[in-house]
Amino acid sequence: MRAMPANDSLHPTPPFSPSDTDRSRLRGLIWLVAAASFMQSLDTTIVNTAVPSIAHALAVRPLDLKTALTSYVLTLAVCIPASAWVADRIGTRRVFAASIIVFSLGSLSCGLAQNLTWLVASRVLQGLGGALLMPVGRYVLVRAFGTRDFVAAMSTAGVFSLLGPVLGPLLGGVISQYASWRWIFLVNVPVGMLGLWLNARRMPDFRGTRRPFDFIGFLLFATASGLLLVAAELASGSANRGGAAGYALGGAAVALAYWLHARRSTHPVPDLTLLRVRSFWIAIAGGLFTRLGTAGLSFVLVLFLQIGCGWSPSIAGLMLVPQALAMILMKLSIDRLLKRYGYRRLLRINTLLISMLLACFAVLPSHAPAWVAAVLVFVYGLVMSLQYTSMNTLAFVDLPPERAADASSLTSAVQYLAMTFGISLASLLMASFLGGNHHDPTAYVHAFHRSVLCMAALPFLAAWIFARLRHDRPPRRPVETPETAT
């Protein structure tokens, strides 16, 4: 499969432009894409601070809730590469409406869940809908506004995707403390109904050239990802670690089969030939190790603050807000820093800073004042914002424009896969250091300190990978791309 090209000339449908409709319809289209972006970004963070409350309600251990987080992100990783083919074949209006309906039904089912299995299945349903929201939304904005006005339109819609990580942890904590954790998911239902109303009135129906879809490659990619996630889940338990090795070997074997298939396929899903470009594979590999070490921090930090330190859900959620605010603030300076120092030097230094900051979390005492934790989280947000944008834009600097869409599909899949296994790794470390002391606050404090210290080693490997860049040079194009947030 090839991802959606940004070049309108590749599609039979004429571009949708301001001359075809009034400005109010264009504004409504931006609001529609913004609402979808907000829903998706909010749902990746809002559950974190409610983990202890949900675990208590469902009578499971807090660490068991990692499956509810990873299942959603893994579904996004697996299904996003198929979004282009589906939209080209069915049309953007129907696909966007279907994705909103599926996401809303998944949210409703999450809110009604009575056990962990029900909740995980509902999160997968959410992910099926969410996987199509942003890729199709970006594609429609390119077609509707053209390449000249797309950046302004996407920037406006992208502001709301940045608000999700800011409001998500706080809303999750406040709702779980003062209402019911179920409303964390149920609030998506009225937003989805509004999205359907806007979709019927504002969404143009674009279609692209029908292309063959690599069903075999897609199934192999999904199966390998699922088997490896099951292996990680079993490894974090105490009774089935022997079976984890079998699933891991099976996942590795299927991944090898996918790699062999992708080398022969005309339209692979995703396209691994991009890895022949040095800067691209360095960005992918360095980003993978960075996210493996950092993606699970928010999950285990919430457990540390709420269970280990005894903080309320709302205060623990408030502690995660400085990170999101810092990430937004840093975006104002990233372009200037990259032009001055270049990718190689900046990524090496910044990745080492990430390891140092993770080590700082490892010595954060349970009795530390709230402002100390807030400052540490804020500084961490600054370096992570710089890291994400630098890694994600590095993947595009040496690619011709016609390969950018393929690269976007592959980088999105790898990003979400890395986030999935990063959360699983953090949970595995916490479970190992906790032993059987799942109700002892002091044990959570010690387990958190040791876990983040182990996690700090992975960005060191990423720094070594980024040092493989042959030279420093500033970016050749603007650093803001649709993929710079995570």
User: Mind listing the pLDDT tens digit for each residue in 425-479?
Assistant: 898 899 889 877 777 889 999 999 999 999 999 999 999 999 988 766 555 544 4
Q: According to the per-residue pLDDT averaged within each range, which of 190-204, 233-247, 266-280 is highest?
A: 190-204
Residue 117, both tokens? 């299995």
Between 85 and 242, where is the model more confident?
85
Cα-based distances in Å from 149 to 17, 26, 238, 243 = 10, 12, 54, 53
Q: What is the pLDDT of residues 22-40, one digit of tens each?
A: 456 677 787 888 778 777 7
Q: What is the mean predicted confidence (pLDDT) over 271-299?
A: 89
Residue 398, both tokens? 């040496």
- Comparing CA positions, the residue from 427, 166, 456 lying closest to residue 304 is 427
> Residue 209 in 3-state DSSP?
coil
Q: Are residues 324 and 408 in the same domain?
A: yes
Query: Considering its fold, how many domains does the chain have in total?
Result: 3
- Portion of the chain with pLDDT greater than 90, in percent: 26
- Comparing CA positions, the residue from 447, 91, 177 lying closest to residue 300 is 447
Q: Are residues 238 and 358 in the same domain?
A: no
- Which string of b and e fits 347-386 if b means at least 16 CB within 10 Å? bbebbbbbbebbeebbebebeeeeeebbebbbbbbbbbbb
Q: Are residues 30 and 87 in the same domain?
A: yes
Q: Are residues 238 and 303 in the same domain?
A: no
Bond preceding residue 18 cis, omega within 30 of 0 = no
Q: What is the mean predicted confidence (pLDDT) over 380-397?
A: 87
Cα-based distances in Å from 379 to 243, 362, 373, 375 = 40, 15, 10, 6
Q: Are residues 318 and 394 in the same domain?
A: yes
DSSP line for 440-485: -HHHHHHHHHHHHHHHTHHHHHHHHHHTTSS-----SS-S--TT--
Domain that holds residue 171: 1-213
- Comparing CA positions, the residue from 242, 222, 220, 218 lying closest to residue 231 is 242
Distance CA 466, CA 85 (A): 33
Find the range with the poorest average confidence among 128-137, 174-183, 366-375. Answer: 128-137
Measured in Å, how far apart are the chain's first and last C-alpha atoms? 24
Between 372 and 246, where is the model more confident?
372
Residue 175, both tokens? 């709702």
Q: Residue 428: in which H helix or E strand, if any?
A: helix 404-434
Q: Are residues 364 and 326 in the same domain?
A: yes
Tokens 């040092």 identify what position?
Answer: 467
Q: Are residues 280 and 134 in the same domain?
A: no
pLDDT of residue 486: 62
CATH of the domain at 434: 1.20.1250.20
Q: What is the pLDDT of residues 133-178, one digit of tens each?
A: 877 877 777 777 765 666 566 666 666 666 777 778 888 888 888 8
Q: Are residues 223 and 306 in the same domain?
A: no
Q: Are residues 347 and 258 in the same domain?
A: no
Q: Over 90: is that where the pLDDT of 234 sits? A: no
Q: Are residues 338 and 252 in the same domain?
A: no
Q: Are residues 154 and 288 in the same domain?
A: no
Would the pTM of this model clear 0.85, i.e. be above it?
no
Q: What is the pLDDT of residues 172-194, one digit of tens each?
A: 888 888 888 999 899 888 888 88
- 151, 480 contact by CB (below 8 A): yes
Q: Over 70: is that where the pLDDT of 367 sits? A: yes
Q: Which long-range contacts (CB under 8 A, 24 or more apart) does 256-260 make?
A: 257/220, 257/224, 258/217, 258/220, 258/221, 258/224
Q: Pick the last residue of a domain from 182, 213, 244.
A: 213
Distance CA 41, CA 226 (A): 22
Q: Are residues 259 and 311 in the same domain?
A: no
